[in-house]
């Protein structure tokens, strides 16, 4: 049997994690992971603009 863990976070914290994930993934050359974070941001925070560049 596999033990599965989970975490609970606030909406704002989820946004912060997704932004950091997109930026760090781009810095490390993992564009697929960055795009997954981009999609989540667009889905859960529609109408908001984010600077997701690796700079």
Integer Cα distance of 12 and 1 in angstroms:
34
Taking only the tens place, the pLDDT of each residue in 4-13 is 999 999 999 9
Neighbours of 53 (CB within 10 A): 9
Taking only the tens place, the pLDDT of each residue in 4-48 is 999 999 999 999 999 999 999 999 999 999 999 999 999 999 999
Instruction: State whether residue 54 is helix, strand or coil.
Output: coil
Asked whether 53 and 23 are in contact (CB, 8 A), the reply is: yes
pTM of the predicted model as reported, rounded to 2 decimal places: 0.80
């Amino acid at each position: 049997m596999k033990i599965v863990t989970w975490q609970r976070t606030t909406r704002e914290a989820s946004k912060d994690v997704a932004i950091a994930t997109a930026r760090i993934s781009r810095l490390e050359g993992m564009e697929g992971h960055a795009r997954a974070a981009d999609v989540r941001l667009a889905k859960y925070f529609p109408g908001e603009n984010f600077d997701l560049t690796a700079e």
